[in-house]
Amino acid sequence: MIKQTVVENGAVRGVSGADPRVISYKGIPFAAPPVGDLRWRAPQPARDWTGVLDCSRFGPISVQRAPWLTDNIYKKEWNVDPTLEMSEDSLTLNIWTPAESVMDRLPVYVWFFGGGMMEGNPTEMEFNGERLARRGIVVVTVNYRLNVFGLLAHPEITAEDPEFPTNFGLLDQRFATMWVKRNITAFGGDPENITIGGQSGGGRSVQMQVVSPLNKGLFQRAIVMSAIRYGGYFGPNNHGSCRTLAEAEADGVDFFKEAGIKNLAEARSLPAQELMNRFVEYMGLGKGLVPGMKMWLPVADGNFCTGSFSELIIRNQRNMVPLMFSNTADETSSTPMVRSFEELQELAGKMFGDRAQEFMDTVKADTLEETLKNATFSPMELGMRLYFEATAKEHPELNNYGALFDAEIPGDDHPGTFHSSDLWFHFESLGACWRPFKGKSYDLARQMANYVASYVKNGDPNCLDVDGVPQPEWKPYTQCGGPMHFTDVCHQEDDSFETPVMRFLVDYYLGTYC
């Protein structure tokens, strides 16, 4: 086992995990502290250290509204530690490696946590990488700047660095992945076999990295969980949208005005927590992330980000790496909020133009209730199908995989497959959860983690279970047309899973963008 090694800035010492065959290194700096004049600047190289850096503890989490003060399901689920250190000096990453030698060159999985790019951290207990690592991969979790620290734009910042005027949290992720590519051989990893993955805001981040023209050759494949939402009957149709740089700069000017900040120099002089307090008040974040709250989206800066990631992926204007997408059954659906057939016809005209009647013919039934049921669809399933069919048209050699998580989630709150509930299974970390999971859940988590590790290794999730028996076959989307279902058992649907309205929507949006 590699218990001590050397990276570009100095020597590091790890610790054995619960499984002594896996060594963890926590809190390794991958960039200089983004403080003082480096606040709202692209990440800079980490400083060298002397001696051996003790990597037995996680680094501080990024400055945010204290996650343990949230009033939602996640407070009990994993935001349970009010002693977490929080600091602006937080650009660190964590590594779990089962390598016996630096010559092993094991596949690498780099993970970006979720939280809408406004909150979250990689120290949450569901992100323990040990169980995945024991399957023969090196797991890396990355911390990055959030909220006002990660997404602020302002004319004064642009004047300082027109090349990287914003998107600092996304640049942190990229910088960390570049660090991994340069240093992962020290942990027995293969710098030419890197998969990036993330869920929710982390999944959005992965898609941003996939479409960035700066990332050519940086990674070989990507995993996106619960972050491909596309379309809907109300609100923006494109959930991969970004702010323009002009819009983001205007947001920054407005924030400074409302927060009583005169200029960039004064903003940089404020203590991090004071700046965060003013941002919380400005954005209405008093209760944490809630539906309908204001959000700052990433920015199309013309360099790292050139536009809507959804449109870029559908148009195949991206780094053409294989993709794996998944979502949970209960986290998203869209139904027309209308009271009559006439209102539905009007809505269809606004959304689909000269194809409105085709939409109506697709969904219309004898009653309005049945018609609305026919029209209901999952925006996340739509996003998956759009991406995969667009890829298949021009790059049939790429095998993309889709999954739907619909397993039983026990507990006195009867939560269903809520947003993020699949993370316990993805990392096979159920043992840290308070929920009374039973044997079938542990079996499913084991198989899901097997699929993940196999995909990270070679782009194909199909593999043998630990008893040597082949797991249920997971066909690429182009061979099946339906996602793998993770319920009490793993099974895949074929094209019959697709509803008529879903087929209409896929054809409509593909015709719009391709």
* Structural domain span for residue 37: 4-334+377-513
* CATH number where 472 lies: 3.40.50.1820
pLDDT classification of 360: cutoffs 50, 70, 90: very high
Question: Which tokens sit at 325?
Answer: 């997408």
pLDDT at 71: 76
Token couple for 80: 């349970």
Mean pLDDT of all residues in 371-377: 96
> Are 366 and 507 within one domain?
no
Same-domain check for residues 365 and 424: no
489 has pLDDT over 90: no
The pLDDT value recorded for residue 384 is 92
Q: Find, among 431, 423, 433, 432, the residue nearest to 486 by Cα.
A: 423
pLDDT tens for 400-409 read: 999 999 999 9
Tokens of residue 92, six digits:
């660190």
Does the pLDDT at position 399 exceed 70?
yes
Which residue, among 156, 133, 182, has the nearest Cα to 31 in the 3D structure? Answer: 182
Q: Report how many domains make up the chain.
A: 2
The pLDDT, as a whole number, for residue 135 is 97
Query: Crossing angle, helix 201-211 and helix 168-183, to 10 degrees?
Result: 70
Q: What is the pLDDT of residue 79?
A: 86
Chain-centre distance for alpha carbon 20: 29
Do 330 and 416 form a contact (C-beta atoms < 8 A)?
yes
Q: Is the pLDDT of residue 118 over 80?
A: yes
Check whether 303 has a pLDDT greater than 60: yes
C-alpha 144/C-alpha 146 separation (Å) is: 7
Residue 286 has a pLDDT of: 60
Residue 483, amino acid: P
* The amino acid at 254: D
The residue with greater pLDDT, 52 or 237, is 52
DSSP secondary structure, 109-173, as one string: EEEE--STTTS--TTSGGG--HHHHTTT-EEEEE----HHHHH---HHHHHH-TTS-S-HHHHHH
User: E strands, 319-447, where?
Assistant: 323-328, 401-405
Average pLDDT over residues 362-387: 95
Tell me what pLDDT residue 73 has.
85
Supply the pLDDT for residue 143: 98
- What residues contact residue 434 under an 8 Å CB cut-off, 6+ apart? 76, 77, 411
In this structure, the answer to whether residues 147 and 58 fall within a common structural domain is yes
Are 226 and 349 found together in one domain? no
Verify that 414 and 495 share a domain, yes or no: yes
Question: In degrees rounded to 5, what are phi and psi of residue 82?
Answer: -80, 5
Residues above pLDDT 70, as percent of the chain:
96
215, 75: one domain: yes
Percent helix, percent strand, percent coil in the chain, to nearest 5: 40, 15, 45
Are residues 215 and 311 both part of a single domain?
Answer: yes
Sign of CA dihedral 273, 277, 283, 284: positive
Residue 197 and residue 156 in one domain? yes
pLDDT of res. 496 = 58
CB neighbourhood size of 281 (10 A): 12
Q: Note the pLDDT tens digit of each residue in 420-473.
A: 999 999 999 999 999 999 999 999 999 999 999 999 999 999 999 999 999 999
| pLDDT for position 514 | 72
Q: Based on the domain organization, do 363 and 487 belong to the same domain?
A: no
- Write down the pLDDT at residue 4: 97
Write the DSSP assignment of 183-204 as a string of letters: HGGGGTEEEEEEEEEEETHHHH
Q: What is the pLDDT of residues 188-215, one digit of tens each?
A: 999 999 999 999 999 999 999 999 999 9
Same domain, 96 and 239: yes
Give the domain-ending residue among 326, 358, 375. 375
Please tell me the predicted confidence (pLDDT) of residue 256.
98
Are 352 and 499 contained in the same domain? no
Q: What are phi and psi of 39, to 5 degrees?
A: -65, 125
Q: Is the pLDDT of residue 305 over 60?
A: yes
State pLDDT tens for residues 67-81.
Answer: 777 778 888 898 888
Mean pLDDT of the chain: 93
User: Residue type for 97, please?
Assistant: T
Q: 443 and 350 in one domain?
A: no
Q: For residue 480, what are the CA distances in angstroms to 30, 402, 461? A: 41, 10, 15
